[in-house]
């Protein structure tokens, strides 16, 4: 897998937050939503362009990971949580997912 670093700022299409890209930014740090742009990280070669909802979050090997699912084509991707991400949102999402599993 190759990686093409692109430092891009964007407005989150889900929550409207103005995001300053670092070149590694994959999702909105406020709401954790993403957009389906890449086939390989940073290549912007994916024509789908659907919004990717954060559908799961978990702690693994000392790191938090968010799972995104494209609302248009259904593809799923994992991405590590970064220090820029709103950790309160990570915890809120994790609790929401666990509540759904318990009520299941």
With respect to residue 2, please indicate whether it lies within any of the assigned structural domains. Answer: no
Contacts with 30 (C-beta within 8 Å, 6 or more apart), sequence order: 12, 15, 17, 19, 86, 89
With respect to residue 99, please indicate whether it lies within any of the assigned structural domains. Answer: yes
User: Across all residues in the chain, what is the average pLDDT?
Assistant: 90
pLDDT given for residue 97 in this prediction: 87
- Tally the domains of the chain: 1
pLDDT given for residue 44 in this prediction: 80
With respect to residue 89, please indicate whether it lies within any of the assigned structural domains. Answer: yes
Coil/strand/helix, residue 64: strand
From 6-10, 17-21, 72-76, 86-90, the region with the lowest mean pLDDT: 6-10
Looking at the DSSP bridge assignments, the partners of residue 58 are 65
With respect to residue 71, please indicate whether it lies within any of the assigned structural domains. Answer: yes
With respect to residue 53, please indicate whether it lies within any of the assigned structural domains. Answer: yes
From 7-11, 56-60, 97-101, the region with the lowest mean pLDDT: 97-101
Mean pLDDT for the stretch of residues 82-98 = 94
Mean pLDDT for the stretch of residues 64-71 = 97
What is the pTM assigned to this prediction?
Answer: 0.86
With respect to residue 73, please indicate whether it lies within any of the assigned structural domains. Answer: yes
With respect to residue 96, please indicate whether it lies within any of the assigned structural domains. Answer: yes
Q: Which tens digits make up the pLDDT trace of 3-49? A: 667 788 999 999 999 999 888 888 999 999 999 987 777 778 788 98
pLDDT given for residue 71 in this prediction: 97
């Amino acid at each position: 897998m190759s990686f093409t670093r692109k430092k891009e700022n964007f407005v989150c299409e889900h929550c409207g937050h103005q995001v300053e890209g670092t070149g590694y930014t994959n999702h909105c740090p406020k709401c954790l939503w993403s957009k389906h742009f890449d086939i390989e990280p940073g290549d912007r070669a994916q024509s789908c362009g659907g919004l990717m909802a954060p559908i799961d979050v978990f702690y693994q090997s000392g790191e938090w990971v968010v799972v995104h699912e494209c609302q248009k084509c259904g593809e799923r991707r994992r991405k590590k949580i970064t220090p820029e991400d709103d950790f309160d949102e990570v915890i809120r999402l994790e609790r929401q997912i666990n509540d759904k599993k318990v009520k299941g």
